[in-house]
Amino acid sequence: MRHEHVKRELWEMPSRSYRCHRALSKGMIGTTRSPRVANVLVPLGNVSPLVRTGCAASRPGTSYGQDFRIISACFISSDVFLSRVVKSNNVAETYDRCPISLPHDSVEQMSLLVKKADQPENAKLLKVAIIGAPNAGKSTLSNSLLGRKVFAVSKKVHTTRSRTLGVITEDDTQIILLDTPGVTTPTKVKRHQLENSFLEDPWNTVKEADLVVVMVDVSDKWACRKLDLEVLKCLTQYPEVPAVLVLNKVDLLKCKSKLLEVTADLTCGVVNGRKLRLKSVIKPPSTERRTGREPWSPARGDDTEIHGEVALDEGSKAKGGLRTLKTTQGWAHFKDVFMLTAVDTEDVETLKRYLFVTAKIGSWEYHSDVLTDQTPEELCKNIVREKLLEYLPKEVPYSMTQCIDLWHERENGELDIAVKLYVTKEGHMKMVIGQAGQMVARIAKEAGEDLSSVFLRVVKLKLSVKVKN
């Protein structure tokens, strides 16, 4: 073994039996070969859980410079989960199923939503609330889990305006995804004139959920070191609902080893009731100088168990204890931690399988053909709004409204849709139309393509722009 570097930090947890990512994705027991991590060759049994189960930041064996290698999977703290995955090969075949089309008629969609569920014997159900700060990637993750683009996504904040539902039904299990607006404060809602759904929906959704997925954008250097205060309030209000942490956009993080520090901060060094420990290993001299506040970094030298204040004591669960949350960095009651890129199918598949094996015996709430609770018109407006947010500057898309003038199915099955866009200023109308009508034509083309993939038919979308009186 070469000792050319100085130090690097990796996770270590009390010894348990773990399986590698191959067991997760293919139902096979992991290989016993010794992996190379940070230029240190160690037996598989001694590798930290994070490395043994991997990190969904990359493909297996991908190196990210400085000889730090990450295996594609996730951080799992439960032996029971892993054993169930190994025994349930029938759960993984998710992409062979014919895609479900969303009814293009509102009456058909409403009839489908109230149709009696066609559940088998011993049906399983899991309701998953996805919460997080604005732009954390909640809707992107929901789309990836569904395998279809049903929720609007954009780089701008507040794309999702209210809670939206997506349904995954496979074999005897139904997963209900509850996509929510980014958590915010009453002050911001009033300042930006947002709907009350921004304040109410995340809380109400967590209340009815069986599992909470808390998403954090690790590419945001400010947001990734401390959970959003509103998220902490929500978790504290409903501590009986199990929660998992999902670190998103790991592909945008240049130094992958920082994921370990972020995990320590956001979990207060505790996952599934067990304290984590940081182990001193090899690290390049250039990274020895540490910047910023790192409350969970151990002292130099031998392995040191993390000690510190657990995020939420019993007193903080009471209403009066919410004051302490302002100084709280993370949540010490996460059951598991996943590291992934929401747009990567392979990364998301690991989380998807976790949801399926977590589902409990229960009656389905929807027919297996249900994909979302959105009406066709709502979905159309959301997708058009997504394109407006993506291509128009600043406040322009936020001040616009829409009206559907035409919704007609041709004899050949093609769907004609005409949407009128209302703007508040003449200058905004010029921006939307663009030079020689290129901007509005581009928005109509891309939105029409997205609608075609949802309705599984040719959609011809026409947009017109008018100044609101």
**Every domain of the chain and the residues it spans:** 98-361, 376-467
356: pLDDT strictly greater than 90:
yes
First to last CA, the chain: 75
- pLDDT at residue number 195: 67
- pLDDT at residue number 303: 37
The string of DSSP letters for 403-453 reads EEEEEEE-TTS-EEEEEEEEESSHHHHHHHH-GGGHHHHHHHHHHHHHHHH
The more confident residue out of 406 and 102 is 406
Structure-block tokens of residue 135: 């732009």
The more confident residue out of 356 and 184 is 356
Average pLDDT of the segment spanning 10-27 = 36
Residues 6+ apart with CB under 8 A from 302: 280
- pLDDT at residue number 276: 80
pLDDT confidence of 279, banded at 50, 70, 90? low
Q: How many CB atoms lie within 10 A of CB 285?
A: 10
Q: Closest Cα to residue 287, out of 263, 314, 254?
A: 254
pLDDT confidence of 469, banded at 50, 70, 90? confident
Tell me the β-bridge partners of 407: 417
Q: How many CB atoms lie within 10 A of CB 207?
A: 12
d(CA 258, CA 57): 12
For residue 112, the surrounding DSSP H or E stretch is helix 106-114
- pLDDT at residue number 323: 66
- pLDDT at residue number 65: 38
Q: What is the CATH number of domain 376-467?
A: 3.30.300.20
- pLDDT at residue number 322: 59
Strand ranges, E, within 211-311: 211-217, 243-248, 270-271, 274-275, 277-281, 304-305
Average pLDDT of the segment spanning 16-38 = 35
**Percent of all residues in the chain with a pLDDT value above 90, rounded to a whole number:** 46
DSSP state of 89: G
SS3 for 154?
A: coil
Residues 6+ apart with CB under 8 A from 34: 41, 42, 43, 44
d(CA 225, CA 124): 36
The string of DSSP letters for 324-380 reads GGGG----TTEEEEEE--TT-HHHHHHHHHHHHHH-EE---SS-TT--BS--HHHHH
d(CA 187, CA 385): 25
The highest-confidence range among 31-45, 195-209, 233-247, by mean pLDDT, is 233-247
Q: Which of 124-128, 169-173, 229-233, 459-463 has the lowest mean pLDDT?
A: 229-233
219: pLDDT strictly greater than 50:
yes
d(CA 261, CA 297): 8
d(CA 369, CA 170): 11
Structure-block tokens of residue 81: 């989960």
Residue with tokens 């954009």: 154
- pLDDT at residue number 131: 92
Residue with tokens 């005897």: 172
- pLDDT at residue number 284: 45
262: pLDDT strictly greater than 50:
yes
Q: What is the CATH number of domain 98-361?
A: 3.40.50.300
Tell me the β-bridge partners of 12: 277
Residue type, 140: T
Average pLDDT score over the chain: 75
Tell me the β-bridge partners of 461: 417
| pLDDT digit string, tens, across residues 300-343 | 333 333 333 344 444 444 444 556 777 788 999 999 999 999 99
Structure-block tokens of residue 396: 């322009």
* Helices within 165-228 (DSSP H only): 186-191, 197-208
Burial class of residue 38 (count of CB atoms within 10 Å of its CB; 0-12, 13-18, 19+): buried
DSSP state of 149: -
* Nearest-10 Cα torsion for 355, 183, 323, 316: -10
| pLDDT digit string, tens, across residues 377-386 | 999 999 999 9
Structure-block tokens of residue 209: 């959920």
- pLDDT at residue number 280: 41
d(CA 288, CA 257): 13
- pLDDT at residue number 185: 75
| pLDDT digit string, tens, across residues 166-204 | 999 999 999 999 988 878 777 776 777 776 777 777 888
The more confident residue out of 304 and 405 is 405
Residue with tokens 């959920």: 209
- pLDDT at residue number 162: 78
Q: Closest Cα to residue 166, out of 204, 205, 134?
A: 205
Distance of CA 333 to the CA centre of its chain: 18
* Nearest-10 Cα torsion for 293, 297, 299, 302: -160
Average pLDDT of the segment spanning 63-79 = 41
Average pLDDT of the segment spanning 227-248 = 92
SS3 for 87?
A: helix
DSSP state of 296: T
